[in-house]
Amino acid sequence: MQIREKIAQALVSALKNQDKRRTSTLRLIQAAIKDRDIAHRGAGKDPVNDEDILEILTRMVKQRNESARIYQENARAELAEEELQEIAIIMEFLPKPLDEQDMRQACAEVVKEVGAEGLRDMGKCMNALKEKFPGRMDFSKASGVVRDLLR
């Protein structure tokens, strides 16, 4: 089942259960996907696929993490908690992220597969990682690991 269908089913369930937080978060997700669909249509591209949706969801999680951190720094615990609840809902639709050890192993394998010999090949390695592990890895951390491997 596609991610878009899972989100739609979860929204129907949340509406039936009258779960306001879940309903509003799922509607935000659908709105973000619809916005990307419209942008793709305007550019003459195909509709949003699962990989694009994973990217959207990952960005939403990052935004909410940042907001929660700011709220906590400014003693707004109730708003930070709302952001954390939204993160939990969004994370349900993302694949399980790789842990630190698995990420390092995946980076090492990609460096070997690509045949990278130095820092100039870092872009090739990162593109391969993004293709193989969409939504499952923090690519900012992975770029540090790849950089260390290529030195």
Report d(CA 133, CA 14) in Å as an integer.
29
Reported as a single tens digit per residue, the pLDDT across 50-94 is 888 988 998 999 999 999 999 999 999 999 999 999 999 999 998
This model's pTM is above 0.85 = no
Assigned architecture for domain 100-150: Orthogonal Bundle (1.10)
For the chain, give every residue range classified as CATH 1.10.1510.10. 3-91
Task: Tell me the CA distances in angstroms from 66 to 22, 89, 102, 107, one per residue in order.
Answer: 20, 16, 25, 26
Top CATH class of 3-91 equals mainly alpha
Structure tokens at 121: 């090949």
